[in-house]
Amino acid sequence: MAKTNPGRFFEDYSIGQVIDHAVPRTVSGGERALYHALYPSRHALYSSDAFAQACGLPAAPIDDLAAFHVVFGKTVPDVSLNAVANLGYAEGRWLKPVYPGDTLRSSSEVIGLKQNSNGKTGVVYVRTRGMNQRDETVMEYCRWVMVRKHDLDAPAPETVLPDLKSVLAPEDLVIPEGLSFADYDFTLAGEPHRWGDYEVGETIDHVDGVTIEEAEHMMATRLWQNTAKVHFDATFRPDGQRLIYGGHVISMARALSFNGLANAQMIVGLNGGAHANPCFSGDTVKAWTEVLDKAETPAPGVGALRLRLVATKGGAPFELKGEDGKYLPGVLLDLDYWALIPT
């Protein structure tokens, strides 16, 4: 019996199947320090216990995207080891902040299946949940990937396409218990801009850039226990390049967006996302944002912004797609998320 994990193939998934992912992880100040060393992350709520407490939280949580990466990383050996492509995200929600000392595990339910017409691959839709040591769901998201078939003679499953929201409604968003921006300190946060200062359609060039290094993306990706060979083994791809984990680009772009969105503190919803082009070591990542929508929330002083966050490598700001409707070659990421910001 072969002992190593071959990963699941398309025919190994069935609707309703629940996969409990391996290797739970206790996070500490170590994960936080590493996150802040790997990304220029500066949102004050995640940097200072005192700032977080002034906003009604017990302490500074781990950055929302770090929590996402921990939950996501565990799914890789079960969901995307044989994936050809990561096709999309939807209905991502952060439900509970994650604090140092919390232990996270994750679980995925297969909610959609569609074999491709070529008979060699299919699309698998999963809804993944991350749970803490009290069995509270801390976040959840849907993701769909194209996965190879191993047994090409395996019968095609009945096609089931999940009914996923293209955008989370403001009432779908979960505000962390106790959160209040009523006494928000804009000076300590780093910028004066509040919810009312942002207009739908407004675009922001975040100006700063970071040139990507192999050691950094590998350390990040390993920290999330993401095991996909293509990120670590320079002999895996014919071109000798290590493909950078898409989540590394997400975190880099979000951190860069501090410059212009310092007060968009908490990510609470992920509406969708596309990894438009691959990222490699040596690329210089920059970011720009478009304000897509605004909403009020019931929490004191807390508003929500729906933001398009675009990461680029060499592309001009605010250019996204060509005349053919395809992403321009300099675009790395097109992410659609909801963030909380003081009103």
200-259 binders of a copy of itself (CB under 8 A): 204-211, 213-216, 218-220, 222-223, 225, 227, 229, 232-236, 242, 259
Residues of span 77-136 touching a copy of itself by CB under 8 A: 77, 100-101, 103, 105, 133
- Tell me the C-alpha to C-alpha distance, in Å, between residue 338 and each of 6, 162, 341: 36, 22, 10
With respect to a copy of itself, which residue has the nearer C-beta, 34 or 320?
Answer: 34
Structure tokens of 224? 């999330």
- 333: helix, coil or strand? strand
Please classify residue 297 by burial: count the beta carbons closer than 10 Å to its beta carbon, then call 0-12 exposed, 13-18 middle and 19+ buried.
buried
Least Å distance, CB 102 to a copy of itself, is 9
Burial of residue 84 (number of CB atoms within 10 Å: 0-12, 13-18, 19+): middle
Q: Using the rule CB under 8 A, which residue among 15, 17, 47, 137 binds a copy of itself?
A: 47
Among the residue ranges 19-27, 138-146, 162-170, 176-184, the one whose residues contact a copy of itself (CB under 8 A): 19-27
**Least Cβ distance, residue 47 to a copy of itself (angstroms):** 5
The answer to whether 142 touches 166, Cβ cutoff 8 Å, is no
User: Other CB atoms closer than 10 Å to residue 25's CB: what's the count?
Assistant: 18
- With contact defined as beta carbons under 8 Å apart, do 133 and 103 qualify? yes
Q: 160-170 burial, b for 16+ CB within 10 Å, e for fewer?
A: eebebeebbeb
- Residue with Cβ nearer a copy of itself (168 or 305): 305
d(CA 340, CA 138): 17
Q: Which stretch binds a copy of itself (CB under 8 A): 27-35, 82-90, 271-279, 328-336?
A: 27-35
- Coil, helix or strand for 55? coil
Our finding on whether 23 is near a copy of itself (CB under 8 A) is yes
Among 143, 193, 248, 308, binds a copy of itself (CB under 8 A): 193
Please pick, from the candidates 50, 85, 182, 316, the single residue that binds a copy of itself as defined by CB under 8 A.
50
Q: Which of 38, 179, 333, 335 binds a copy of itself (CB under 8 A)?
A: 38
Of positions 14, 30, 200, 321, contacts a copy of itself by CB under 8 A = 30
Please report, as residue ranges, which positions from 300 to 339 form the binding site for a copy of itself (by CB under 8 A). Answer: none
Q: Does 169 bind a copy of itself (CB under 8 A)?
A: no
CB of 59 to a copy of itself, least distance (A): 8
Candidates 21-29, 119-127, 137-145, 294-302: pick the segment binding a copy of itself (CB under 8 A). Answer: 21-29
Of 22 and 152, which has the nearer Cβ to a copy of itself?
22
Q: Does 177 bind a copy of itself (CB under 8 A)?
A: no
Total of residues contacting a copy of itself (CB under 8 A): 75
Residue from 103, 82, 98, 81 nearest 24 by CA: 103
Is 22 a binding residue for a copy of itself by CB under 8 A? The answer is: yes
With respect to a copy of itself, which residue has the nearer C-beta, 107 or 271?
107
Q: Would you call 276 exposed, middle or buried from its count of C-beta atoms within 10 A (0-12, 13-18, 19+)? A: buried
Closest CA to 273 of 77, 84, 68, 73: 68
Alpha-carbon gap, residue 88 to 320, rounded angstroms:
17
CB 186, min distance to a copy of itself, A: 9
290, 305 Cβ separation under 8 angstroms: no
